[in-house]
A and B are shown apart, each in its own frame.
Chain A
């Protein structure tokens, strides 16, 4: 088709794309242009464009900053612990749900287990205060009632780690079962029947049919999570953390917020953010390559 005829016929398709493309240019690519302030001595009066170039000076400053290493360590530590504790939870839960053969019970359980996923971190933070609080928190009330001492879940950094991880499991385990349940439903029923005829008990059926059936899903999600090792959401550590446990709760995202938005050191904060974004991208591309080798198809 000749271009003029083509566009006469299809120009509306391109017209529709104008606003969405403009959105991506301004609000997604605009900040990418702004990243240059990592290499500039940014000040408000001269703006992004007018500020003076300083090369890698800000990077040197960041890499000599002890707090940067602490937040980097905490990011890796919290993500690593999440991988060990929160990652297996939905797998186990999904297998248990799949084994249920009372349908109404299964449906009600799923409905309730998915709820925490839709609760905001601020609300979860409020709940955490009231459940884990030292003075009148629910768990410490129960402990005291049993004649035991209170545990400072929110103010001792090691106990706080447990609080942080437990909250993560509570929030994500139920929702996380969805993909595994979909994979389990996809397993050929005949495999289960064959196993039953061979005299395999329930545990053996889970071990030899269910788990191999969802192995690819597990591996793929594991690789995605490994690829996200250095990126961490802002809201969970910010809302659940506090000054007393900052040694553990201060991560890259909260660090960027604190030195950037709160203290106005925009250049330094941008450097930290850029470091995180670049390393994160490398991790993700590496994860994608691994997934391609294993699955034959990538995750991106």
Chain B
């Protein structure tokens, strides 16, 4: 075998293996889509793998006309927008002064913030705090406790530090205040990093589940993940009962569960192209460690 042939064989094997990895990556989604579009009979008889059998849109019709599901979607959108806006405002308010060399006690303030990345009071004291503040079963219990991510804050500080001082000084000579400098020079220059951080805040809020489980018991305020979890955990219970021979204990048809999973996944896939534009160019490389 010549060197050229060996190279070609290597490339071919590599492409085949990566194609396999890609298939493993998306096959579960395709399976769920297939299930969501198949008839109950075909699902129960175990015929459905990657293609829908006896195609029906019934499951989607039911999910999209279910009032609690739509309310949950609406609430989650509202929650995500509020959280993202407030988180960004707070992160900018903290990052701008901390990027300035003229700020005194800077390392002390940074130390005070960074410590919270490595040590926290834990789940119970956090829960008691939220309870004592009277936030249980309110939107604020899902907004305030994680308002600023120290990680994103550090990324933004690093970015602000990279803006040449000369640009800001020019504005300062004009008598422009710090707020004006922030709005007219710093923010426009950092639009891409702002967009990235907003998207990451939004995705984190959209996907967040633990706090919704802890703080929300009112069904009118169920975010999508909590709503979906109840559908999924019913699935677990029924699987368990089946395996223990209790017999069929159908709580929710499989097709409906699959359609609900797709319902919750699509919004993330819709913003994904914007997300990936930023992390591919390296803006977020530093954020991966966390």
- Contact of A126 with B123 in the complex, beta carbons under 8 Å: no
**How far, in whole Å, are A119 and B267 apart by their CA atoms in the complex?**
10
B residues near A23, Cβ cutoff 8 Å: 90, 144, 147-148
- Contact of A101 with B11 in the complex, beta carbons under 8 Å: yes
Expressed in whole angstroms, the minimum distance between the Cβ of A174 and any Cβ of chain B is: 7
Contact of B265 among A101, A119, A201, A257 (CB under 8 A): A119
Asked whether A122 and B225 contact (CB < 8 A) given A31-B122, A112-B22, the answer is yes
Among listed A63-71, A208-216, A239-247, interface-contacting one: A239-247
The 6 closest A-B pairs by CB, nearest first: A31-B121, A273-B122, A34-B125, A120-B207, A20-B94, A31-B125
B128 CB–A CB distance under 8 Å: yes
A residues near B254, Cβ cutoff 8 Å: 130, 136
- Contact of A273 with B124 in the complex, beta carbons under 8 Å: yes
Among listed B64-72, B162-170, B237-245, interface-contacting one: B237-245
B residues near A163, Cβ cutoff 8 Å: none
A232 CB–B CB distance under 8 Å: no
Expressed in whole angstroms, the minimum distance between the Cβ of A2 and any Cβ of chain B is: 13
A289 CB–B CB distance under 8 Å: no
B6 and chain A: residue at smallest CB distance: A201
- Contact of B261 with A127 in the complex, beta carbons under 8 Å: yes
Expressed in whole angstroms, the minimum distance between the Cβ of B90 and any Cβ of chain A is: 5
Among listed B54-62, B77-85, B187-195, B274-282, interface-contacting one: B274-282
A121 CB–B CB distance under 8 Å: yes
A298 CB–B CB distance under 8 Å: no
Interface bin, chain B: 35 or more
Chain A interface (Cβ within 8 Å of chain B)? 6, 10, 12-14, 16-17, 19-21, 23-24, 26-35, 37, 47-48, 93, 96-97, 99-102, 105, 108-116, 118-123, 125-127, 129-131, 133-136, 138, 140-142, 144, 152, 154-155, 170, 173-176, 178-179, 182, 201-203, 221, 224, 234-235, 238-239, 242-244, 253, 256-257, 260-261, 266, 269-270, 273-274, 276-277, 281, 284, 299-300
B231-290: which residues lie under 8 A (CB-CB) from chain A?
A: 231-232, 235-237, 239-240, 242-243, 254, 257-258, 260-261, 264-265, 268-269, 272, 275-276, 279-280, 282, 285, 288-289
A residues near B147, Cβ cutoff 8 Å: 23, 27
**How far, in whole Å, are A29 and B126 apart by their CA atoms in the complex?**
10
> Which secondary structure dominates chain B's binding surface?
helix
**How far, in whole Å, are A241 and B90 apart by their CA atoms in the complex?**
36
- Contact of A37 with B109 in the complex, beta carbons under 8 Å: no
**How far, in whole Å, are A178 and B178 apart by their CA atoms in the complex?**
37
- Contact of A174 with B128 in the complex, beta carbons under 8 Å: no
- Contact of A113 with B239 in the complex, beta carbons under 8 Å: no
Expressed in whole angstroms, the minimum distance between the Cβ of B123 and any Cβ of chain A is: 5
Asked whether A109 and B235 contact (CB < 8 A) given A131-B28, A178-B288, the answer is no
B residues near A96, Cβ cutoff 8 Å: 14, 17-18
- Contact of B285 with A123 in the complex, beta carbons under 8 Å: no
Chain B interface (Cβ within 8 Å of chain A)? 3, 6-7, 10-11, 14-15, 17-19, 21-22, 24-29, 31-32, 35, 43-44, 46-49, 90-91, 93-94, 96-98, 100, 102-104, 109, 112-114, 116, 118-129, 132, 144-148, 177-179, 203, 206-210, 213-214, 225-226, 228-229, 231-232, 235-237, 239-240, 242-243, 254, 257-258, 260-261, 264-265, 268-269, 272, 275-276, 279-280, 282, 285, 288-289
**How far, in whole Å, are A279 and B174 apart by their CA atoms in the complex?**
54
Contact of A30 among B100, B121, B236 (CB under 8 A): B121
Instruction: Tell me which of B6, B15, B239 has the highest count of chain A C-beta atoms within 10 A of its own C-beta.
Output: B239
Expressed in whole angstroms, the minimum distance between the Cβ of A145 and any Cβ of chain B is: 8
Given contacts A112-B22, A122-B232, 12 further A-B contacts (CB under 8 A): A14-B97, A16-B178, A24-B116, A31-B122, A35-B125, A37-B124, A120-B208, A120-B225, A126-B235, A173-B21, A238-B210, A300-B114
A residues near B114, Cβ cutoff 8 Å: 300
A residues near B47, Cβ cutoff 8 Å: 141
- Contact of B275 with A135 in the complex, beta carbons under 8 Å: no
A-B contacts, 20 of them at CB < 8 A, read: A17-B97, A26-B129, A27-B129, A29-B116, A33-B125, A34-B121, A96-B17, A115-B272, A116-B25, A120-B206, A126-B228, A127-B28, A142-B49, A203-B10, A235-B210, A242-B236, A242-B239, A261-B123, A266-B124, A300-B114
**How far, in whole Å, are A127 and B228 apart by their CA atoms in the complex?**
11
Contact of A31 among B17, B109, B120 (CB under 8 A): B120
Expressed in whole angstroms, the minimum distance between the Cβ of A152 and any Cβ of chain B is: 6
- Contact of B31 with A130 in the complex, beta carbons under 8 Å: yes
B residues near A110, Cβ cutoff 8 Å: 280
**How far, in whole Å, are A17 and B229 apart by their CA atoms in the complex?**
38
A residues near B31, Cβ cutoff 8 Å: 130-131, 138
- Contact of A126 with B231 in the complex, beta carbons under 8 Å: yes
Expressed in whole angstroms, the minimum distance between the Cβ of B50 and any Cβ of chain A is: 8
B residues near A16, Cβ cutoff 8 Å: 93-94, 96-97, 178
Expressed in whole angstroms, the minimum distance between the Cβ of B159 and any Cβ of chain A is: 17
Expressed in whole angstroms, the minimum distance between the Cβ of A299 and any Cβ of chain B is: 8
A residues near B261, Cβ cutoff 8 Å: 123, 126-127, 130
**How far, in whole Å, are A208 and B132 apart by their CA atoms in the complex?**
59
